[in-house]
Chain A
Amino acid sequence: MDILNQLAETFFDWEAMGEVIPKMFAVGLPNTIVLAVVSGIIGTALGMLLALMGISRNAAARWVARIYTDILRGLPPVLTILVIGFGFGPIIRELTGSTSPYPMAIAALSLMSGAYIGEIFRSGIQSVDKGQLEATRALGFSYGSSMRLVVVPQGIRRVLPALVNQFIALIKESSLVFMLGLLATEREIFQIGKDAAANSGNLSPYVAAAIFYLALTIPLTHFVNWIDARMRAGRPEKKEPDEAAAVVGKGAQA
């Protein structure tokens, strides 16, 4: 029983948890959400640009997209965040006078997720049947309009589940920005937990942080499954009035 008690005290010290939870709501959660959402939006825009460059008829554009994607996807996130945070931080400080590493954290997360999202979009767009482009062009649309109005929207629809998965990864990766030494008001869920754990000598604040992450990621995971299932089955078709009438009629006869 000693071992169980010890485990309970280490991981489920309610007092230590209770102390950290208000701070997680007030500071950690908003910061994690801001980091993930802002870099998710920038990453999506960057990803779309990279995808369009990746399938462009211009070889130089294709190469730029390829090299960027290979490098950013090939590096450990920790390394990218450190290099961008510490490498570009001083330059930004000189230009703007701001000492906050927060913008650098968002930049690093955006650049990384842009590379992944670019590949997701590219594969989606390329999976659209070639007949779609041909039919649109046959109506008299230019290549650009055909892509914009018909091909790209279908490609995006197809990769929505993968896109949400990427957003889940982004929420988790946002925990790595603690390495840039954020100001007290800028700390996200993980660092709040980490600080509290260091102060109390107890791991329960980490468990509290874990619960916060799961509360964000598990609903999103199920959202992915829902979109996926709906896309497989298609939107439920409205019953035609006469079919519905036929059902009523049979019921009346019975």
Chain B
Amino acid sequence: MSEFASGTLTAKNIHLSFGSNHVLRGIDLHVEKGTTASVIGPSGSGKSTLLRVMNRLIEPDQGDILLDGRSVLKDNPDELRRRIGMVFQQFNLFPHKTVAENISLALRKLRGMSKEQARNEALAQLDLVGLKHKADSRPANLSGGQQQRVAIARALAMKPEVMFFDEATSALDPELVKGVLALMTDLAKGGMTMVVVTHEMGFSRNVSDVVTFMDAGVVVESGPPEQLFTDPRTERLQGFLSDVL
């Protein structure tokens, strides 16, 4: 049983170029409802760009994106992004607002909640990530790990059908990584559909249902974690794993 109203996300044959730089060269990715897909690969392989194309922060040149089997490319992109939560490497909390306001802003303006309703919902979300007592602090007075947990709460407050994590632990001090990964693991186990771009091989191996290895804008290998980590078939993945493990 899922705690979330999760959806199934599919990207089909995604192409994207920045000028002459062909960043994504025909990417296919399928994330079944309630499962976690991790995307690994060297820097510059197009992983983060793929996330931004799938929630249409960047429009693809070619290909299709489906949510629950229906193409979303003709929808209003703002409405699509309300259905997909995203967590960033640099947290990107709003520094001029309190922690609670960071979460309640979208609830008030996009979900039409009253100030009080939105604050109560924000406090409930903060409670889930263990930071209710920081509701009236500014982000700058929180540790990196706490900021990232607030960012996760901010995304979850919109009741997304899918969550994207873009190297969510890469900017954290080593001792703070664990708490954020534990929270992400809870979400995965709770049945959230997640796409996780990560350098944390332990998380990728132990938590995700499917691992996708990208290099130079293509999917080189994809499959269950056991298979990719113990029996990589391509030389490129073998080389990558021997570099990072």
Residues of A within 8 A of B (CB): 129, 131-132, 134-142, 145, 149-150, 153-154, 157, 234-235, 237
Contacts and interface: CB of A to CB of B under 8 A. Distances in A.
Interface in B80-102: 81-82, 84-86, 88, 90, 92-96
B123 to A, nearest CB: 17
A33 B59 CA distance: 52
Given A132-B94, A153-B96, A154-B95, A141 B109 contact: yes
B140 A142 contact: no
A178 to B, nearest CB: 42
Contacts of A141: 78, 106, 109-110
Contact of B105 (A131, A134, A149): A149
Contacts of A154: 94-96
A137 B155 CA distance: 12
A204 to B, nearest CB: 49
A140 B105 contact: no
Contact of B109 (A134, A149, A235): A149
What interface size band does chain B fall in? Answer: 20 to 34
B24 to A, nearest CB: 18
Contacts of B90: 129, 131
Contacts of B92: 129, 131-132, 134-135
A139 B81 contact: yes
A149 B137 CA distance: 19
User: Interface on chain A toward B: helix, strand, loop, or mixed SS?
Assistant: helix
Contacts of B137: 237
A140 B82 contact: yes
Contacts of B15: none
A3 to B, nearest CB: 58
A137 B57 CA distance: 7
B141 interface: yes
10 contacts: A132-B92, A134-B92, A135-B88, A135-B93, A137-B78, A138-B55, A138-B85, A140-B79, A157-B96, A237-B137
B142 to A, nearest CB: 11
Given A131-B90, A137-B57, 12 more contacts: A132-B94, A138-B55, A138-B57, A138-B84, A138-B155, A139-B154, A140-B78, A141-B109, A153-B96, A154-B95, A234-B138, A235-B138
A140 B95 CA distance: 19
A202 to B, nearest CB: 53
Contacts of A136: 94
Residue of B106, B141, B158 contacting most chain A CB atoms (<10 Å): B106
A237 B141 contact: yes
Contact of B81 (A137, A234, A237): A137
Contacts of B93: 135
Nearest to B96: A154
A129 B140 CA distance: 15
A25 to B, nearest CB: 40
A136 B141 CA distance: 21
